[in-house]
Amino acid sequence: MKTITIGLGTCGVSAGGEKVFKAFHDELKEHPGTFQIKETGCVGMCYREVLVEISNGGDVSHMYGDVTPERVGRIVDEDVIGNTVIEDWLVSGAGREKGFFENQTRIVLRNCGKIDPGSMEEYVGTGGYQALEKVLKTMTPESVIDEVLKSGLRGRGGAGFPTGTKWKLTRAAAGTKKYIICNADEGDPGAFMDRSVLESDPHAVLEGMIIAAYAVGSDDLYIYCRAEYPKAIARLNQAIGQARRKGYLGKNILGTHFSFDIKIKEGAGAFVCGEETALIASIEGRRGMPRFRPPFPANAGLWGRPTSINNVETFANISWIILNGGAAYAAYGTADSKGTKVFAMAGKVRRTGLVEVPMGITINKIIFDVCGGIVNDRKFKAVQMGGPSGGCIPASMCETPIDYQQINKTGAIMGSGGLIVMDETTCMVDVARYFLTFTQSESCGKCTFCRIGTKRMLEILERISIGQGTMNDLDNLEELSLQIKSATLCGLGQSAPNPVITTLKYFRDEYVAHIQEKKCPAHVCASLLTYTINDKCTGCTVCAKACASNAITGSRKEIHVVDQEACIKCGKCFTVCRFDAVDKL
Amino acid sequence: MYSVSGIAMLSTFKDFNLMQEHSNEEFKSFNVDVWQHDGHAGALIPLLQSAQNTYGYVSEQAINHISHVTGISQAEIYGVVTFYAQFRTKPLGRNVIKVCNGTACHVNGAKMVYDTVQDELNITYDETTDDGSFSLISVACLGCCSLAPVITINGEVFGRLDATKLRKILREAKKRARETAVQNN
């Protein structure tokens, strides 16, 4: 019997996956017994959702992209019942997605979009929980740590601290009660790797956590997950319940004297809680404000006890490393950065979604070979890595390999894996202003330089973006950046100036254009634009009515005119026009 | 228009017309059992989440109650409530529109989305329309970056928006809200 698998990760649901799911159910009622329906998580091709895979039971399968409820009837009639593949609707039709999977190496995403995340049997069927059995029955905690050290795995949350070393320090710390925390507070806007892994393969994260607990000598595990990820939390709760029933969590795991249990703590929306000491404060029920380190959490973490905090993606690597060996993992990548990295691709790139590539691949290769280049073939300008803590790397430097050291040299950071592609229609001053707005509002307020310094930087950027900046402002921005970096406590403050520093370094001419010529070269900053009305105008008078400064004149059914003297450049006419008749230059 | 979050809430609390004090009967329904979890005083945030899940916001009364149960001062609880973006100290409108301001949405026109919503509903972020039918919230990232720019209305995602498409969606939502209001009267 044929199996129809529907992608119901957040990306699939957003694109209408549940309606497609229901449509298949309705079809099944009409043709009972012809096929079965399954759901799966995110395969990474978010830009082609809703994705539907048809398999004949064996290994042979094909996938349709952009499926709508209207297309379901034809898929069932022609393909499922009629055995004729609808070539036009295939994801790979006409060689369209060439290179997307071929250039990836999937370790973390190995099961994503393949298995039903709600079924523990399917996870076990792919070799799941074998690593845990191996660890508990044949390995000492020290040998587990050695294997992870050998793999060269570094923390995937952003800072890149070697995972094995973190475990070793926590294990060596004094005290009998220790904690493992999974940091699933994925706060970078534009990054969704962790959410996707939690939704698509929750058991892989649980298994990695239990192995970590065994290695450091902990029996109490926490997952700190963003409340904004309801589906991920539901999946985790379901998976924890299943693991308890099967004896992978609870007392005397697999007949040993080890006991582990996992609790979920929902975050309440604060970017700074991704910082480990803030995260601990938040679990303890306080305002999530970072504290001075040392002592590091490995010595004094949650409730003052030794705690190892690792990221979702880090944990998802562990069982693979145990089963295949640290050396096999270290075979991927560069001298400094081993293994693979998952990136969330967004912005002006053709294929937006999740990709996992071996370390050492160049940024250009990810954007052009894996992700198909820039939307509408516009000119590639820069890529933003590392979210609000990261920086913009210009197109000219995108032969840089994905490697912690090499990325740091550009002024950006590896970060957690958000990769936002920008083209010629993106204004770099606006991007810097955007990230500063974010970090400014997310600053916890503890350090003066972060609280007030980012505010002053933001004011300067706002001034520049409305054409009121001076060249002196650029020096002030640079000076403030250095001061904030050196006089703040946590990663949020220390990295907050990065987007400004990198855009100033690589795109100084854009800042200068805003200041001296009062022009926004990318036509983004509203106050620096000139609005004119072209001959597509139907004379509907909507723009004239909307204009706050009565700058638009014209009779009904005649082309309207903007009085540039009176125009306050609010952009309202551009927003209200339904005929593309307002140009901004 | 009134502010959904905002510091000025405690003083203006009582005379607010959409705000109804919870009866004592009702109040028992919100789960304070999550407190004292494992003998740690760590469940303040889950308690507040429980209060907000039950009533839609964290009321002054809820803060009093939590303070009474936990022994944590009201000021400290208020400090926690206002620290986290998730907590509201005022109720939301009947329909909630979230505009995504994640990076991908920002570079793909979140400003246009905001301008259009603002134009249609005449409210800005963290405000509710006078008739209590719509609240507008800005969120950092809804996580569907491939559909940017994106909004959600009551959790339903609308993606790949342009001004025309969005205006149509909003007008339909307004029409539905009016119809519901008429039915309820």
CATH number corresponding to A428-517: 1.20.1440.230
What number is the average pLDDT over the span A218-227?
A: 94
Closest residue on chain B to A9 (Cα): B144
Q: Is the pLDDT of residue B36 over 60?
A: no
User: Tell me: the pLDDT tens digits for B73-87?
Assistant: 999 999 999 999 889
Q: Is the pLDDT of residue B18 over 70?
A: no
* Residue from the list B48, B83, B167 with its beta carbon closest to the beta carbon of A288: B83
CB atoms within 10 A of CB B168: 10
Q: Is B92 at the interface with chain A, CB within 8 A?
A: no
What number is the average pLDDT over the span A248-252?
A: 95
Query: According to the model, what pLDDT value does residue B157 have?
Result: 86
Query: According to the model, what pLDDT value does residue B41 have?
Result: 56
A-B CB pairs within 8 A amount to 140
Q: Is A576 at the interface with chain B, CB within 8 A?
A: yes
Subunit contact A575:B79, Cβ cutoff 8 A: no
Going edge to edge, which strands form the sheet with B156-158? B2-3, B127-128, B134-139, B95-100, B151-153, B156-158
> 3-state class of A67 per DSSP?
coil
Q: Is B151 at the interface with chain A, CB within 8 A?
A: no
Query: According to the model, what pLDDT value does residue A302 have?
Result: 95
Kindly report the nearest CA distance between residue A10 and chain B, in angstroms.
Answer: 7
Q: Is the pLDDT of residue A416 over 50?
A: yes
Its CATH class, for the domain covering A2-89, is alpha beta
Percent of chain A with pLDDT over 90: 88
User: Tell me: the pLDDT tens digits for A14-67?
Assistant: 888 999 999 999 999 999 988 999 999 999 999 999 999 999 877 788 999 999
What's the per-residue H, E or C state across chain B?
CEECCCCCHHHHCCCCCCCCCCCHHHHCCCCCCCCCHHHCCCCHHHHHHHHHHHHCCCCHHHHHHHHHHHCCCHHHHHHHHHHCCCCCCCCCCCEEEEEECCHHHHHCCHHHHHHHHHHHHCCCCCEECCCCCEEEEEECCCCCHHHCCCEEECCEEECCCCHHHHHHHHHHHHHHHHHHHHHHC
User: Tell me: the pLDDT tens digits for A330-362?
Assistant: 999 999 999 999 999 999 999 999 999 999 999
Query: According to the model, what pLDDT value does residue B172 have?
Result: 95
Q: How far apart are CA A497 and CA A478, in angstroms?
A: 9
- Looking at the domain A340-423, which fold is it? Ubiquitin-like (UB roll) (3.10.20)
Q: Is A20 at the interface with chain B, CB within 8 A?
A: no
Subunit contact A228:B142, Cβ cutoff 8 A: yes
Q: Which of B47, B141, B165 to mutate to test the interface with A (most CBs of A within 10 A)?
A: B141
Kindly report the nearest CA distance between residue B141 and chain A, in angstroms.
Answer: 5
Query: According to the model, what pLDDT value does residue A56 have?
Result: 85
Strand A531-533 with A552-553, pairing: unpaired
Q: Is B104 at the interface with chain A, CB within 8 A?
A: yes
Q: Is B112 at the interface with chain A, CB within 8 A?
A: yes
Residues in chain A with CB shorter than 8 Å from the CB of B119 are 546, 572, 575-576
- B residues 24-83 lying closer than 8 A (beta carbon) to A: 40-46, 48-49, 79-80, 83
- What number of residues does chain A have? 585
Q: Is B7 at the interface with chain A, CB within 8 A?
A: no
User: Tell me: the pLDDT tens digits for A372-382?
Assistant: 999 999 999 99
- What number of residues does chain B have? 185
Subunit contact A347:B104, Cβ cutoff 8 A: yes
Q: Is the pLDDT of residue B20 over 50?
A: no
Subunit contact B103:A268, Cβ cutoff 8 A: no
b/e per residue A120-138 (b: at least 16 CB within 10 A): bebbbeeebbebbeebbee
Confidence of residue A427 (pLDDT cuts 50, 70, 90): very high
CB A298 within 8 A of CB A169: yes
Flag the least confident range among A172-176, A503-507, A567-571, B60-64. Answer: A567-571
Subunit contact B145:A227, Cβ cutoff 8 A: no
Helices (H), A152-288: 163-172, 193-200, 202-216, 230-245, 276-283
User: Tell me: the pLDDT tens digits for A431-448?
Assistant: 999 999 999 999 999 999
Q: How far apart are CA A115 and CA A127, in angstroms?
A: 12
Q: Is B153 at the interface with chain A, CB within 8 A?
A: no
Residues in chain A with CB shorter than 8 Å from the CB of B108 are 347-348
Q: Is the pLDDT of residue B19 over 70?
A: no
Confidence of residue A549 (pLDDT cuts 50, 70, 90): confident
What number is the average pLDDT over the span A485-505?
A: 96
* Residue from the list B80, B84, B163 with its beta carbon closest to the beta carbon of A269: B84
CB B124 within 8 A of CB B134: no
Higher confidence at residue A229 or residue A215? A215
Q: Which amino acid is at A353?
A: G
User: Tell me: the pLDDT tens digits for A65-121?
Assistant: 999 999 999 999 999 999 999 999 999 877 788 889 999 999 999 999 999 999 999
Q: Is B177 at the interface with chain A, CB within 8 A?
A: no
Angle at A81 between CA A77 and CA A83, to 5 degrees: 105
Q: How far apart are CA A351 and CA A45, in angstroms?
A: 7
Kindly report the nearest CA distance between residue B164 and chain A, in angstroms.
Answer: 6
Structure tokens given for A266? 């929902």
Q: How far apart are CA B140 and CA B100, in angstroms?
A: 6
**Domain locations along chain A:** 2-89, 120-330, 340-423, 428-517, 529-584
CB A495 within 8 A of CB A413: yes
Q: Is the pLDDT of residue A455 over 50?
A: yes
Q: Which of B106, B116, B139 to mutate to test the interface with A (most CBs of A within 10 A)?
A: B106
- A residues 263-282 lying closer than 8 A (beta carbon) to B: 265-271, 282
Subunit contact B146:A352, Cβ cutoff 8 A: yes
Q: How far apart are CA A192 and CA A313, in angstroms?
A: 11
What's the per-residue H, E or C state across A430-466?
HHHHHHHHHHHHHCCCCCHHHHHHHHHHHHHHHHHHC
- A residues 311-330 lying closer than 8 A (beta carbon) to B: none
Q: Is the pLDDT of residue B14 over 60?
A: no
Q: How far apart are CA A17 and CA B147, in angstroms?
A: 13
What number is the average pLDDT over the span A252-266?
A: 93
Strongest mean pLDDT among A335-349, B47-61, B147-161: A335-349
CA-CA-CA-CA dihedral for A537, A543, A549, A552, to nearest 10: 20
* Residue from the list A15, A420, A444 with its beta carbon closest to the beta carbon of B107: A420
Flag the least confident range among A177-181, A476-480, B135-139, B160-164. Answer: B160-164
* Residue from the list A13, A228, A346 with its beta carbon closest to the beta carbon of B103: A346
Residues in chain A with CB shorter than 8 Å from the CB of B42 are 283-285, 303
Helices B74-83, B60-70: crossing angle, 10 deg rounding: 120
Q: Is B162 at the interface with chain A, CB within 8 A?
A: no
- Looking at the domain A120-330, which fold is it? Rossmann fold (3.40.50)
Kindly report the nearest CA distance between residue B93 and chain A, in angstroms.
Answer: 19
Query: According to the model, what pLDDT value does residue B31 have?
Result: 59
Residues in chain B with CB shorter than 8 Å from the CB of A283 are 42
Nearest to B71, CA basis, from B35, B106, B17:
B35
Kindly report the nearest CA distance between residue A45 and chain B, in angstroms.
Answer: 9
Kindly report the nearest CA distance between residue A321 and chain B, in angstroms.
Answer: 29
Handedness of CA A404, A407, A413, A414 (dihedral sign): negative
Higher confidence at residue A582 or residue B1? A582
Residues in chain B with CB shorter than 8 Å from the CB of A416 are none
Query: According to the model, what pLDDT value does residue A304 have?
Result: 94
Q: Which amino acid is at A219?
A: D
* Residue from the list A188, A346, A434 with its beta carbon closest to the beta carbon of B148: A346
Subunit contact A229:B143, Cβ cutoff 8 A: yes
DSSP state of A216: H
CA B10 to each of CA A358, B30, B93, B135: distance values in angstroms, whole numbers, following the listed order: 54, 21, 19, 20
Whole-number CA gyration radius for chain B = 18
Residues in chain A with CB shorter than 8 Å from the CB of B84 are 267-270, 288
Structure tokens given for B174? 């307004």
CATH number corresponding to A529-584: 3.30.70.20
Q: Is the pLDDT of residue A401 over 90?
A: yes
User: Tell me: the pLDDT tens digits for B97-119?
Assistant: 999 998 888 888 899 899 999 98
Nearest to A218, CA basis, from A167, A142, A283:
A167
Residues in chain B with CB shorter than 8 Å from the CB of A265 are 45-46
Confidence of residue B39 (pLDDT cuts 50, 70, 90): low
Q: Is B122 at the interface with chain A, CB within 8 A?
A: no
Closest residue on chain B to A572 (Cα): B115
Check: complex ipTM more than 0.90: no
Subunit contact A191:B42, Cβ cutoff 8 A: no
Subunit contact B43:A190, Cβ cutoff 8 A: no
Query: According to the model, what pLDDT value does residue A102 have?
Result: 92
Query: According to the model, what pLDDT value does residue B22 have?
Result: 53
Q: How far apart are CA A531 and CA A239, in angstroms?
A: 55
* Residue from the list A190, A284, A422 with its beta carbon closest to the beta carbon of B102: A190
Helices (H), A290-427: 312-324, 326-330, 363-364, 404-410
Query: According to the model, what pLDDT value does residue B29 have?
Result: 52
Residues in chain A with CB shorter than 8 Å from the CB of B104 are 189-190, 346-347, 352, 420
Residues facing A418 on adjacent strands: A344
Query: According to the model, what pLDDT value does residue B7 have?
Result: 35
Q: What is the DSSP string of A83-150?
A: ----GGGBTTGGGTTTTTTTT---STTSSTTTS-TT-HHHHHHTTTTHHHHHHHHH--HHHHHHHHHH
Q: How far apart are CA B2 and CA A573, in angstroms?
A: 28
Higher confidence at residue A96 or residue A368? A368
* Residue from the list A15, A192, A572 with its beta carbon closest to the beta carbon of B143: A192
Query: According to the model, what pLDDT value does residue B148 have?
Result: 87
> 3-state class of A200 per DSSP?
helix
Q: Is A380 at the interface with chain B, CB within 8 A?
A: no
Q: Is A125 at the interface with chain B, CB within 8 A?
A: no
